[in-house]
């Protein structure tokens, strides 16, 4: 056992929390594939506690205080038992004889490990820098909880739907174990947020944003958005948190992403765009998956707030987003209302899962603006007056409502709505566009005419 714990002792003596967390991981690296088996074989269930206690407390190479060695003995006993269950489950799965509740047993064993780590950080049994170990173990607990719920769902003979991604709500049965895990995460979050240690270097507050992000990820899957709001309110109420810019970039990026999505779901698109843009700027260029998640909500946000659509260059590195957005974007550019409606219908299932369907539906106004703009451009220019140069030429700005109605009825090349609208309906539609700021001008009912602004008739389009 002493040899098995040597990497841990070295990492712990030099206070390298990520290496300690790596040692206490259920995962293995390809270059060290037998690590977990070596650890399990270094003892047995009858001697494990005594072996670990001797290696940590009585060994000449141990540099721990008695309180620390006692705490780590309990932690490693839990870890040994959890790893034993993980390896049993893995072997059973490979032999196609996984027990009905075997993954639930794995979850329970890992939960015991996570809560034991939390207990000793809370009571000072181990130094506060081990919060990294705590929240990494919590991250694994979430994964084990999801797998346990999948197995429980199969026992009940129902189809379990794990959702579209980490940020999409499951439509399957109740996630019992994930709900349990969420309560553990909440206690860990409170432990970090409520730390009153005046020494910032020793503060548990450095784990606040990581655990907040873990809670967001879990609550989103559980469809408990209100609980996510509570997390944000708790953080905003704190006056003694270290500066946000001092936290690891990964923690800040994830926090801005989740708060942006929360604002998006509350239809506060200005705030959502701000947070998501900050997340995009913070995100590592090589993190394509994270960039894709951010753009999933940032693109609809900018469609609403700035009436802007993504470029081909922006979408091309993300094939899945390109498949979703490219048909919609193409129709918006052309002012193809029929095509826009068809593209929404074609992608409805995926858009609803990502919770962006209703927001993208508002992009129809942008498509309509571009169609109306085509009518405006087709009118050409006013004749030059005597003495005027070509630079003074302006576009015709008085356009009969009937021409807009004709454009809306067009079905050629898929453009227009293909609908037959009377002039009152068209007039109402044009009035709405003016009210929303997508057109500038006014309607002359007396002359059945739209009088557009000669300088910026369609804001954001250059005309």
Q: Tens-of-pLDDT digits for all 463 residues of the chain?
A: 888 888 888 888 888 999 999 999 999 888 788 889 988 998 888 899 898 888 887 766 657 888 888 999 999 999 999 999 999 999 988 888 888 889 999 999 999 999 999 999 999 899 999 999 999 999 999 999 999 999 998 877 554 444 434 554 444 457 899 999 999 999 999 999 998 888 888 899 999 999 999 999 999 999 888 899 999 999 999 888 999 999 999 999 999 999 999 999 999 999 999 999 999 999 998 999 999 999 999 999 999 998 888 999 999 999 999 999 999 999 998 888 888 999 999 989 999 988 999 999 989 999 999 999 999 888 888 777 776 676 667 788 899 998 888 888 874 444 555 566 788 888 999 999 999 888 999 999 888 899 998 888 888 776 6
Domain membership of residue 15 (yes or no) is yes
The domain in which residue 204 lies consists of 1-155+174-247
E-state strands within 128-261: none
Per-residue confidence (pLDDT) for residue 82, from 0 to 100: 95
Cα-Cα-Cα-Cα dihedral sign, residues 290, 296, 299, 301: negative
Per-residue confidence (pLDDT) for residue 294, from 0 to 100: 96
Which residues have CB under 8 Å from 440's CB, separation 6+? 434, 452, 453, 456, 457, 458, 459
Domain membership of residue 272 (yes or no) is no
Query: What tokens were used for 239?
Result: 């006056």
Domain membership of residue 117 (yes or no) is yes
Per-residue confidence (pLDDT) for residue 445, from 0 to 100: 87
Helices (H), 200-318: 208-221, 225-236, 249-265, 269-282, 288-305, 312-315
Query: What tokens were used for 395?
Result: 């576009």
Per-residue confidence (pLDDT) for residue 418, from 0 to 100: 55
Which one-letter DSSP state was computed for residue 168?
A: S
CA-to-CA distance for 284 and 300, rounded, in angstroms? 22
The pairing of strands 398-400 and 449-452 is: antiparallel
What count of Cα atoms within 13 Å lies in the side-chain half-sphere of residue 462?
3
CA-to-CA distance for 146 and 162, rounded, in angstroms? 8
CA-to-CA distance for 372 and 14, rounded, in angstroms? 68
Cα 11 to chain centroid distance, Å, stands at 32
Domain membership of residue 147 (yes or no) is yes
Range 427-431, long-range pairs (CB < 8 A, 24+ positions): 427/401, 429/368, 430/372, 430/401, 430/404
Domain membership of residue 212 (yes or no) is yes
Q: How many structural domains does the chain have?
A: 1
The reported pTM is 0.85
Domain membership of residue 27 (yes or no) is yes
């Amino acid at each position: 056992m002493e040899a098995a714990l040597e990497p841990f002792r070295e990492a712990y003596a030099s206070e390298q929390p990520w290496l300690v967390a790596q040692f206490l991981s259920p995962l293995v690296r390809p270059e060290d594939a037998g690590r977990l088996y070596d650890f399990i074989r270094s003892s047995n269930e009858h001697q494990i506690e005594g072996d670990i206690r001797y290696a940590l407390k009585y060994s000449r190479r141990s540099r721990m205080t008695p309180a620390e060695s006692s705490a780590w003995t309990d932690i490693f006993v839990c870890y040994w038992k959890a790893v034993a269950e993980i390896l049993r489950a893995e072997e059973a799965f490979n032999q196609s004889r996984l027990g009905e509740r075997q993954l639930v047993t794995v979850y329970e064993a890992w939960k015991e490990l996570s809560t034991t780590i939390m207990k000793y950080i809370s009571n000072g049994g181990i130094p506060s820098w081990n919060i990294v170990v705590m929240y990494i173990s919590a991250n694994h607990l979430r994964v084990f909880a999801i797998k346990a719920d999948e197995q429980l769902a199969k026992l009940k003979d129902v189809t379990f739907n794990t959702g579209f991604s980490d940020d999409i709500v499951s439509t399957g049965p109740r996630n019992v174990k994930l709900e349990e895990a969420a309560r553990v995460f909440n206690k860990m979050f409170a432990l970090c947020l409520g730390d009153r240690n005046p020494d910032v270097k020793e503060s548990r507050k450095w784990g606040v944003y990581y655990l907040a992000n873990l809670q967001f990820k879990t609550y989103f899957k559980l469809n408990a958005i209100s609980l996510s709001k509570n997390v944000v309110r708790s953080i905003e109420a704190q006056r003694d948190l270290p500066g946000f810019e001092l936290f690891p970039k990964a923690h800040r990026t994830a926090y801005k992403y989740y708060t942006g999505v929360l604002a998006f779901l509350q239809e506060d698109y200005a705030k959502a765009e701000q947070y998501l843009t900050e997340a995009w700027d913070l995100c590592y260029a090589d993190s394509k998956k994270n960039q894709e998640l951010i753009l999933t909500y940032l693109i609809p946000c900018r469609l609403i707030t700035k009436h802007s659509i993504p470029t081909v260059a922006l979408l091309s590195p993300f094939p899945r987003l390109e498949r979703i957005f490219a048909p919609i974007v193409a129709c918006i550019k052309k002012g193809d209302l029929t095509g826009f409606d068809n593209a929404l219908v074609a992608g409805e299932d995926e858009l609803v899962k990502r919770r962006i369907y209703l927001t993208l539906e508002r992009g129809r106004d942008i498509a309509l603006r571009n169609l109306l703009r085509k009518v405006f451009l087709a009118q050409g220019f006013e004749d030059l007056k005597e003495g005027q140069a070509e630079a003074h030429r302006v576009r015709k700005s008085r356009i009969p409502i009937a021409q807009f109605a004709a454009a809306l009825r067009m079905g050629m090349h898929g453009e227009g709505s293909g609908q037959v609208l009377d002039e009152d309906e068209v007039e109402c539609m044009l009035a709405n566009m003016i009210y929303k700021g997508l057109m500038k001008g006014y309607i002359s009912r007396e002359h059945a005419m739209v009088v557009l602004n000669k300088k910026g008739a369609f804001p954001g389009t250059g005309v």
